[in-house]
Amino acid sequence: MKSEEKRYKILGTMRNTIPGAQEMSLQDTVEFRKLWRNRFIGSAARDRTIPLHKCHACGSGKLYFDWHFFSYNVYIASTNYLEKIPAMSHPDERIIVFPDKCDMKGFVVRLGDLMEYLKANPFVGSDIYMTPKKMEWTLVFTHEEDFGPYFVKAV
């Protein structure tokens, strides 16, 4: 198994482990990812000449991860999400979980169930993005132990 396949295998594990997870269609995932990028990255990346997402799956060439935007410290990111998220959202709120790769589907889960999973599995080890449907905040995990997770409030 290639390292990239191993890295994204966790997404399937999460979807199969978290109770009530509902898979999204590929089209819905792609559309939601675009909305997420506009909300959390958008023109700020272009203004600072930070490269936007590229991936082998969509044929855009050199691999680049959206989470790099946060690692450039454009937003002040916080890693104490286990305390902050419950204060901002209701446990029954639906959260969209999606990968960085354009050819993979995301899924929807209940926040309370997602938080229980994350308490038991704090290092996700994959490039996975999480946000409520209204996108008041986002939680971004990376495949690198030294970067993230990033918790960012929408501005």
Q: pTM of the prediction?
A: 0.85
With a CB cutoff of 8 Å and minimum separation 6, the contacts of 57 are 101, 102, 103, 104
What is the block-wise mean pLDDT of the chain (155 residues), using blocks of 10 residues? 67 91 95 88 64 58 68 67 86 94 90 93 83 93 82 81
Q: What is the pLDDT of residues 123-155, one digit of tens each?
A: 777 889 999 999 999 999 888 877 778 888 887
**84 phi and psi angles, rounded to 5 deg:** -80, -45
Looking at residue 25, the DSSP 8-state letter turns out to be: P
Name the packing angle between helices 111-120 and 81-88 (round to 10°). Answer: 170
Going by C-alpha positions, the residue among 129, 123, 127 that lies closest to residue 142 is 127
